Structure 1
Amino acid sequence: MAAFTKDFFEKREVDGINMYIIPAGTTLYRGDSNFTDITHPELLKGDYKFFTPDAEYADKYGIVFEFKTKNELQLVAMDDISEQFFKKAPEDIQDILEDNYGYSSHKRDSVEEKDYKVSQYVCKQGYQGYAANTMKHVARLEDDLDPEVIICNAEEHVERIRRVTEESNISSKLDELKMRRTERDRVGPRKKARREIDDRVKPPSMGNLFGDEDEDEDEDEDERPPVSRSLFGGKTKKSKKSKKKQTKKKKAKTQKKRKSKKSKTGKK
């Protein structure tokens, strides 16, 4: 019997770590772009595999397969990261937990490379995997992140049930995935989502905003155009230089008017 509901799975503290408890017999799905046969020996090979309790979400990632858990799983809750789990992690993992898994903000920013790094870390620490319910995205305009389940050594813990994707839809699904991959390669890796920026915080330089090297920060400030605050939703501020130029122009106009008046008086 699957325990997945709108409230996700039961959460429980185990040895100071928040865990999601997935009962034996729970139905999970996986979208796979490499295999079409559920009996393929390589389907579940690897240190960890990604699953979801939502078949529709799995469809975004490829041919959908259905599985059932063989035994109860205790998975680290990544949408409610325990302080003990966070402090025990090395600095590079802490950075990812903070920036991409919302340790403080409780907002998610899924970046493939970093998701894999955390998955590897979780498995190497001896956990059975991790799970997270729906999470808000760090970018306000992005959709929420769907529920996710990562299981270490999946072959040991899940049973293959069936392929959900119909035979007649396999070809079109593979074509769709190929087109999506081609588009991703053309556009390049997605930029990291820009966080909500407090108006009180100084905006980053244009170099950092678009991923340029830090060497740009060493340039002479006079050679760089000021960053417009309109980029971040505030009113555009005029630079001190532009204000000085306007003042000079006003003085020049005033002097011309005075000279003009004097010349007229002299003619009279």
Structure 2
Amino acid sequence: MSFFAIIAIILLIGLMFGGLYISRLAHQREVEDSELREALRVRRSRQHKVEELFDTLMSYDRNPELLMHLQSMLIDDAQSLIELAPDDKHSQERLQYYQDLERTIEALGDNANQPITPTTDREILLMKRHFNRTAKLIKRRITDGALTEGEADVHLERLRRRTLELEAEAYKFQAVQARDNGDLAMAAAYYKHAKDMLINSDIHYEEKTEQIRKLSRLIAGLYTSEFEESENESDAKALPNASQSASDKG
């Protein structure tokens, strides 16, 4: 075999191993890119879920301590995303947004711990679902060491009571709407549903008994006012009008 043939064989072998090495590097890079994309997807998904909980709690709980805790989680996630993808402008924008949430929480002022009442079945469902997810998140934060059991218990107990009270208030709101539309049967059904919820709940607090009594009075008042109006209309029809009485006397 000639010298040139040997050189050619060596070159071919080198090219073959070089191609395999390049292919291996490309595969490794593809695996790393895939793992990075998955890590970004998981963190962004968690970030989105926590952001949803934050928005719901800003309406239906408004507890500054819990809101600040979630804000801290959002900031940590955003910073982790930036570490994974330093050139990702979206993560940088979200980080700034989450940092600004501190001012949003402080702006609650006197409205802190003064939640608004959901007014539709959809809002009730959203509140209950997100409160349940928040409770699960709080329990995980105990395991992570981010919350003590005492801190977590305060939040969990408050969210349980919030769920009960706000759902009852929502049905009272719907009862008022039904009453104003003249549907007293539907109004009574909403009031009764709110009352039964409070009675059957194992959550106890000082104002609960009075809330139940108030609902009983509201139910009774629906039919009492209707009866009084009917009686007044009947009495008015039974009485002769003033002009007719005067002519009769004349």
TM-score band by shorter chain is under 0.3
CA radius of gyration, larger in? 2
Structure 1 length-normalised TM: 0.26
Which one scores higher on RCO, CA 8 angstroms, separation ≥ 6?
Answer: 1
